[in-house]
Structure 1
């Protein structure tokens, strides 16, 4: 009990009015440590989710290319077009966000970027889920009709990759919605 009271009476070093240091806190060795900004970890997670969505959408449309006559089924054509659109959007977003994380400078104004991220993520998440659902329905119809061919497994894998891309994009859209409403509430 006496040790606890003694620790409470130890004066803090001058200039440090926050326990644990704060930005630029000194370590016991006398070196200054960098403390990450509150939004940096969220930006990294968004970047990781966007990168996963990019890879999954890319694999989805590449796998669909290997399905012979995928244009004959409207569901597969829709899945392919949404996978291509998502791949292009995610490639641009990963490029911009990766540059921003690396250089700590915004490529696009933050007020405009928030709206682009929110609307693009929401729109593409819906379209990707819709196309993956149609692709799954088309796969189910082909299987129930007994029309399975050599490319059926590849088409099913493409549908699975689209669903995975949707889930990654859904997490990203949650983060972009949080960021948008935070910016709006601070304005």
Structure 2
């Protein structure tokens, strides 16, 4: 049929299972698996909403493939019509591959968004901790070191003034 093996994806993925079932003309189990996949609770709240149209389109494509493959009286058609049906089947199959890839892409995109939001939260916590540390340090300097510095500067200034006055009295 001219399908690249990489189009099927990994054996543990939905795309592989659906495409194999369609290739083996097990249309109803493929449709049921798509429906079950849609009904399965996802870790991402918006996942089902985002893939619903792709799932429905995949089901429609599977029905179209089934109709093309099980066309009654195909042997009585001219070779050109038979070839046209085979070409339409290939087009539908390629479209099914494309739709299943879109479903996987939505899943990957949601995983990336989740990872990014986790990174943002961790960074925000780190910046908040750093801000608290800097604030604590500034307060500590103001309360402890600032008073000590003021005393030292005042004493130094007093000594300089006394030394200057002593020099002027000479």
Greater Rg by CA: 2
Would the TM-score normalized by the shorter structure come out above 0.5?
no
Structure with greater helix share of residues: 2
**What TM-score, normalized to structure 1?**
0.36
Q: Bigger relative contact order, structure 1 or 2, given CA contacts below 8 A and separation 6+?
A: 1
